Amino acid sequence: MSVLKFSFVLLVFLGLASQLSVSIVLAQTSEAEAASALATSENAVFSAYQAVLKAEEAGANISSLLVPLNEAGWFLNHAQIAFKSGDFDSALEYATQCQEELNGFATDADVLKENAIYEHYMDFFVNVAGPIVEAVSVVCVSLIIWFFLKREYGHAGSVVDESS
């Protein structure tokens, strides 16, 4: 009977030990996943800030980009706090939400930057090249009108001279 009790106690102990080891392995996997997601989120936020900076340097109105960027920063901050406190599930969730918030962000920033560059070129054309073309056109039209008027008055003057 004591062998049976010993076997039962040993079996229960091994069962509990295996549950504990599985929990530790799952916790480490969850920590690794959370750390990876956190690093990915940090890179995404950094890239988003770089895209906003480039768009702003091009002269774009970046106000529409600030709300999602701030929300992503909020999620990243909460993910970092959760990770430091050991709540890897929340850290993973917040990091994932951060990444979702920045989906398509770089494309939006690039579109704003390209629009700002296009508007800059159009402003140049309207404000600099346009007046130059207009001035050259006025000079050319004036010369053409002068040529025709000279020719017309030149013939009229010679006819008047012959009749006198």
CA distance 100 to 93: 11
CA distance 141 to 138: 5
Query: What confidence tier does 36 reach under pLDDT thresholds 50, 70, 90?
Result: very high
DSSP 62: -
Asked if residue 109 lies in contact with residue 52, where contact means CB atoms within 8 angstroms, the answer is yes
Asked if residue 30 lies in contact with residue 89, where contact means CB atoms within 8 angstroms, the answer is yes
* Mean pLDDT of the 124-147 span: 84
- CA 4 distance to own-chain centroid: 68
116: which 2 tokens?
């700002």
Of residues 118 and 20, the one with the higher pLDDT is 118
Query: What confidence tier does 122 reach under pLDDT thresholds 50, 70, 90?
Result: confident
User: How many domains are there within the chain?
Assistant: 1
- Per-residue pLDDT at 61 exceeds 80: yes
CA distance 48 to 50: 5
First to last CA, the chain: 156
Domain that residue 147 falls in: 2-163
* Mean pLDDT of the 37-57 span: 93
pLDDT of the residue at 39: 94
Highest mean pLDDT among 53-62, 73-82, 107-116: 73-82
Q: Name which of 27-41, 79-93, 101-115, 135-149 the model is least confident about.
A: 27-41
Give the other-Cβ count within 10 Å of 120's Cβ.
Answer: 13
